[in-house]
């Protein structure tokens, strides 16, 4: 066997499978190919080799047997030589003849080796800087959260008066240009709060002082920087009917309000809870900033050659994450790309530098874990996995929706990275 390192973290393995070993794969190969043909007089998968070769040729049988033999042989080589192969390998059969050893060559990308240059001093400097950061909660921050809470529990009371700024109003409207209703220019029972500026400038001014049941027609110009280019700066005609005017009654922020939330004895207890929550959030944000700074520094210190397959996989992962994100906003990735006048290839090109940084960061954290002998127990990994598995009702759902071996590796990496961050914090 000959193993050769290539550029861009690739490896070439040239070896052979003895005839006495790979001949045992001919019968399974015949059985598999027999299932693909319809031979008169034989049940599916039961035709003998001669019949199969008559339909598909001897070379097809030998090729299928060779592929099966190589798959087993290659897996054994990776395990024995401790080669961390990634992606789909490239196979080249060099000698294929019945009665002879099977010679082949495989080229595969591997997890790249990295050099992590002097990094501890940089981590020390970052830690010194963050130790000086003081985390505290100001009174106005608590007051702001109290206002948000009160606004989230506003009571809407229908009133028989003209609409004012701050009221909730329900309207029907129609927008047209040159007598033709524009696309998405009609709405019924549309609710909004006057004074929030959710419509184009001037629109809400026209609604103020209108009463329920009143109708109005007016013209306005769309802003010059309006997102729909064909309407930017253009004049449009509006027809509006007010259906409902509601006064937004915000509760007083007092002991009664605190008690109404269900778990507070008084306003003081509510304020204390908000203060603790804000403090925890600030500590978390500071921790995340410190970790981001460590990661940025480790990426700068990392020297490696990244295989193309690893970059492509990371970009695909990033696009998958982004797709899930835009779906929460009621869009699809295709909708987003169309709106931005971009193609998927544009995203791949734009995100390549970020993908490379993410890979380098992961490799750097893994190297530190290896060098410092940081590992997570099997029990911890399985306990964390069980939290994910609780979302699935039965074992069939798990088997259908989850690759357990990948989940194990993902959880292991996440928990180990957490331990690495704890280690960095102590430097």
Would 120 be classed as within a structural domain? no
Same domain assignment for residues 370 and 293: yes
Domain identity same for 401 and 332: yes
118 assigned to some structural domain: no
Do residue 405 and residue 294 come from a single domain?
yes
Per-residue pLDDT of the chain (427 residues; tens, 9 = 90+): 899 999 888 999 999 999 999 999 999 999 999 988 888 888 887 889 898 888 999 999 999 999 999 999 999 999 999 998 888 899 999 999 999 999 999 999 998 989 999 999 999 999 999 999 999 999 999 999 999 999 999 999 999 999 999 999 999 999 999 999 998 899 999 999 999 998 999 999 999 999 999 999 999 999 999 988 889 999 999 999 999 999 999 999 999 999 999 889 999 999 999 999 999 999 999 999 999 999 999 999 999 999 988 999 999 999 999 998 988 888 888 988 888 888 999 999 999 999 999 999 999 999 999 999 999 999 999 999 888 888 776 666 666 667 788 888 889 999 999 999 999 999 9
- Together in a domain, 321 and 406: yes
pLDDT per position as a tens digit, 29-86: 999 999 888 888 888 878 898 988 889 999 999 999 999 999 999 999 999 999 988 8
Q: Is residue 102 left, alpha or beta, with left meaning phi > 0 and alpha meaning psi from -120 to 50? A: beta
Say if residue 327 is in the same domain as residue 212.
no
What count of other Cβ atoms lies within 10 Å of the Cβ of residue 413? 16
If asked whether residues 340 and 288 sit together in one domain, one would say yes
Contact (Cβ atoms closer than 8 angstroms) between residue 62 and residue 96: yes
Query: What's the pLDDT tens digit per position in 347-406?
Result: 999 999 999 999 999 999 999 999 999 999 999 999 998 888 887 766 666 666 677 888
How many angstroms separate the CA atoms of 418 and 111, rounded?
21
Q: Is 234 helix (H, G, I), strand (E, B) or coil?
A: coil
Beta-bridged to residue 2, according to DSSP, are: 14
User: Domain for residue 206, yes or no?
Assistant: yes
- Of the candidates 58, 81, 111, which is a domain's last residue? 111
How far is the C-alpha of 99 from the C-alpha of 115, rounded, in Å?
47
Same domain, 411 and 292: yes
Domain membership of residue 138 (yes or no) is: no
In this structure, the number of other CB atoms found within 10 A of the CB of residue 150 comes to 14
Provide the number of structural domains found in the chain: 3
Q: Range of 186's domain?
A: 155-249
| Residue 163 in tokens | 């609409």
Residues 6+ apart with CB under 8 A from 223: 200, 201, 232, 233
Q: Determine the Cα–Cα distance for residues 116 and 298; give it in Å rounded to an integer.
A: 8
Shared domain check, 307 and 184: no
Instruction: CATH number of the domain at 98, please.
Output: 3.30.70.1050
Same domain, 232 and 295: no
pTM for this one? 0.72
Q: Is residue 44 part of a domain?
A: yes
């Amino acid at each position: 066997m000959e193993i050769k390192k290539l550029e861009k973290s690739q490896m070439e393995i040239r070896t052979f499978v003895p005839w006495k070993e790979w001949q045992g794969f001919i019968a399974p190969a015949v059985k598999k190919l027999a299932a693909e043909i319809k031979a008169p007089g034989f049940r599916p998968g039961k035709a003998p080799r001669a019949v199969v070769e008559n339909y598909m040729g001897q070379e097809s049988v030998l090729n299928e047997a060779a592929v099966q033999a190589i798959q087993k042989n290659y897996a054994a080589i990776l395990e024995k030589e401790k080669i961390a192969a990634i992606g789909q390998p490239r196979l080249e059969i060099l000698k294929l003849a019945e009665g002879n050893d099977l010679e082949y060559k495989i080229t595969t990308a591997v997890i790249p080796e990295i050099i992590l240059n002097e990094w501890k001093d940089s981590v020390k400097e970052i830690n010194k800087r963050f130790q000086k950061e003081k985390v505290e909660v100001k009174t106005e921050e608590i007051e702001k959260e109290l206002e948000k809470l009160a606004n989230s529990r506003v009571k809407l009371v229908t009133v028989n008066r003209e609409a004012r700024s701050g009221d909730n109003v329900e309207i029907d409207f129609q927008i047209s240009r040159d007598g033709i209703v524009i696309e998405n220019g009609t709405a019924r029972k549309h609710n909004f709060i006057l004074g929030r500026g959710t419509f184009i400038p001037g629109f809400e001014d026209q609604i103020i002082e209108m009463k329920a049941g009143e109708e109005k027609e007016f013209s306005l110009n769309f802003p010059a920087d309006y997102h729909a280019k064909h309407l930017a700066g253009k004049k449009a005609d509006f027809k509006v009917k007010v259906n409902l005017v509601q006064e937004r009654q915000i509760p007083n922020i007092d002991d009664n309000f605190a008690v109404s939330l269900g778990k507070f004895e008084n306003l003081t207890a509510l304020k204390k809870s908000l203060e603790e929550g804000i403090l925890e959030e600030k500590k978390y944000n500071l921790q995340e900033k410190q970790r981001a700074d460590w990661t940025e520094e480790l990426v700068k210190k990392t020297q490696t050659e990244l295989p193309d397959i690893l970059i492509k996989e990371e970009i695909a992962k990033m696009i998958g994450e982004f797709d899930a994100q835009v779906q929460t906003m009621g869009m699809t990735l295709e909708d987003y790309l169309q709106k931005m006048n971009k193609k998927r290839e544009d995203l791949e090109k734009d995100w390549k530098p970020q993908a490379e940084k993410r890979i380098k960061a992961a490799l750097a954290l893994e190297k530190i874990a290896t060098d410092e002998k940081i590992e997570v127990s099997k029990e911890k990994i399985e306990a964390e996995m069980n939290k994910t598995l609780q979302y699935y009702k039965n074992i069939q759902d798990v088997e259908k929706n989850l690759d357990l071996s990948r989940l194990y590796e993902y959880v292991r990496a996440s928990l180990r990275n957490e331990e690495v961050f704890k280690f960095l914090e102590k430097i």
